[in-house]
Structure 1
Amino acid sequence: MGAALHLAHAHQPPPGPEKKRKRGGGDGDGYDALVQRVYTDPRQTSESRELILMLAWLIKRDPNRYDADGEYVDTWTRAEKILGRYKLGRKEKPRLADLIDADRPRYEPDRSGTEWHSVCRAPMIRREGECGQHSVAHSFKVDPVTGWQTPVPYCRRHADWGKKHDAALRAMDLPEPIPNTGGLMPSFLVLKTGTDGWHRIYQWASQWTYSRWEPPIKYGVRADDWPVPGREPEPEPVRLRLVASEGNFVD
């Protein structure tokens, strides 16, 4: 895999007199601050935490990041070797692709609420109120500002009403939903190739997982940039810089 990556902290001041450092690095390279931020970020999943911490370690702490000639060894190559591959039909699939794809920036409806296991919302004709029978399927209503979905359950008796609701939804000019999942790699690390580099990385993983990922157009790939309704924007945290010559993967 191509795209050699190097790490330095953002807004790095001009280098001063060289000082003797302890073995294993120190706080000045930004690694410890990144680790602390990863562990205290409630957005982290087990996959994103493993991925970000591994990349930071490979770039800042891995004793094998340089070869015998002093040349930097590609970070993605080392990452794939550590994580290994597993059988997928006749192919061997890199586990690195699974971790990256799990962090792909996207919107996913929150299916934890009771409204997903609710009763039919179809209006009754002979009496006021909703049907109230056990639902068998859902349509949706979409917030015109956030683009987020709220389920509209309906029962078997009101399946035609649900289908009409779906048809009306397809006919609407719906806003792009604000992403609410993934995008944590770009929130902690900076690619020299910027947004295009992240697009290529996520698309490489998507080809392995068949997730058919498309980049968010309006809101970008970085979770720190996504507005959260009801929450004030927070100051931008310091990120560690990943410098990639190409910003993509080569099979």
Structure 2
Amino acid sequence: MGAALHLAHASQPAPGERHRTKGEGSGGGETFADFARQVYADERATPVAREMLLAFGFATMVAHSEEERDVRAVWSTVRKAMGTTRTGWRWRLDEAIVADAPRYAHSKYESHRVCVAPRLRPHPDGPDDFRNKLGICGTLADWEHYALEKQAGTGWYKFRWFCKRHLDHLARVREQLREPNASAPEPVPNRGGLLPVYFESDWLDTYRRRLDSPTWEPPVYGISADDWPTPGVERVPPRAKLRLAALDGNLLVEAGPGDRR
């Protein structure tokens, strides 16, 4: 990913930092179009995350010149750009920040819920049937009949399903996995963490406020998605970030949809 822009605090510019004005390129020569290309090329970003990142980029790179830029104006522009929820009582930006909180999201409900117990006799549907190819029972399993396996390298979850006829297999597999699971690492995050990739600010406090959890802590791997290891994928090199200012120590101005300041 190319380097993003260095932008000064709205109230206290960093020494030696070049301000950008509306329509200009940055000190690194990057434009909003360059920034947008980076965001759209980031495969980690969901549609909502892209919308949020582009709104922040627009507010800090296009909508507010150096003379106009202040914390309330920037955040007001972002909130208005994303609008409110269908009910109209909550800013969509709040929900987007919650969705960007760094975390590991497992895929229990996306996995194939079929019994993986060994097949003792060929299924009558023939050699091309998946049950014969995989050598498994293949019967649909109930939601509670699974063994959780934590991967040694990532801590990510793998679900092994069993049907009611093979609960003895389930019990044995759960016992076999007890010790390896206990020694597996904390799961590497696979969701969120994109705001800290593109913008500098007090994201810990922001996530805590949006999650309504003052004791929330980021994963041990870090708060930025760029810091998370992914097997078989090279870590993204550090990049310069847009800098967002805080207001009285709080990144997000506490205002409801009716506040048009």
Q: Same fold (TM over 0.5)?
A: yes
Q: Give the residue type in structure 1 aligned to 2:229.
A: P
Pick from 123, 133, 139 the counterpart of residue 147 of structure 2: 139
Q: Which stretch shows the higher mean deviation, 221-230 or 117-126?
A: 117-126
Q: Which residue of 1 aligns with 2:74?
A: 75
Q: Tell me if structure 1 keeps the 8 A contact 2:98–2:211.
A: yes
Identify if the C-alpha distance between structure 1 residues 64 and 234 changes in structure 2 by more than 3 Å, giving closer, same or farther: closer
Q: Which residue of 1 aligns with 2:44?
A: 43
Higher strand share: 1
Q: Which residue of 1 aligns with 2:204?
A: 199
Q: Give the residue type in structure 2 aligned to 1:36.
A: R
Identify if the C-alpha distance between structure 1 residues 93 and 152 changes in structure 2 by more than 3 Å, giving closer, same or farther: same
1:19-168, aligned counterparts within 5 Å? 24-28=23-27, 30-32=30-32, 33-63=34-64, 73-86=72-85, 92-110=89-107, 116-117=111-112, 119-122=114-117, 132-136=137-141, 137=143, 138-159=146-167, 161-162=169-170
Query: Relative contact order: is structure 1 or structure 2 higher (C-alpha 8 Å, sep ≥ 6)?
Result: 1
Identify if the C-alpha distance between structure 1 residues 104 and 165 changes in structure 2 by more than 3 Å, giving closer, same or farther: farther
Q: Aligned equivalents of 2:59 and 2:147: distance in 1?
A: 46
Pick from 186, 195, 200 the counterpart of residue 190 of structure 1: 200
Name structure 2 gaps, 5 residues minimum.
Answer: 1-5, 122-133, 256-261
Identify if the C-alpha distance between structure 1 residues 65 and 235 changes in structure 2 by more than 3 Å, giving closer, same or farther: closer
Q: Which residue of 2 aligns with 1:225?
A: 227
RMSD after superposition: 4.0
Q: Aligned equivalents of 2:86 and 2:232: distance in 1?
A: 45
Q: CA deviation at 1:93?
A: 2.1
In the comparison of the two structures, how many residue pairs are matched? 225
Identify if the C-alpha distance between structure 1 residues 121 and 96 changes in structure 2 by more than 3 Å, giving closer, same or farther: same
Deviations 1:128-149 (A, max 9, x none): x975131313332111221011
- Give the match's secondary structure for 2:196: helix
Q: Aligned equivalents of 1:132 and 1:190: distance in 2?
A: 52
Q: CA deviation at 1:185?
A: 1.0
Q: Tell me if structure 2 keeps the 8 A contact 1:58–1:65.
A: no
TM-score (norm 1): 0.70
Name structure 1 gaps, 5 residues minimum.
Answer: 1-6, 192-196
Q: Give the residue type in structure 2 aligned to 1:200.
A: D
Which segments of structure 1 move beyond 4 Å, counting only runs of 4 or more? 63-67, 110-113, 123-126, 163-171
Q: Which residue of 2 aligns with 1:3?
A: none
Q: Aligned equivalents of 1:165 and 1:218: distance in 2?
A: 29
Deviations 1:196-220 (A, max 9, x none): x21221233323xx9x994333111
Q: Give the residue type in structure 1 aligned to 2:114.
A: V
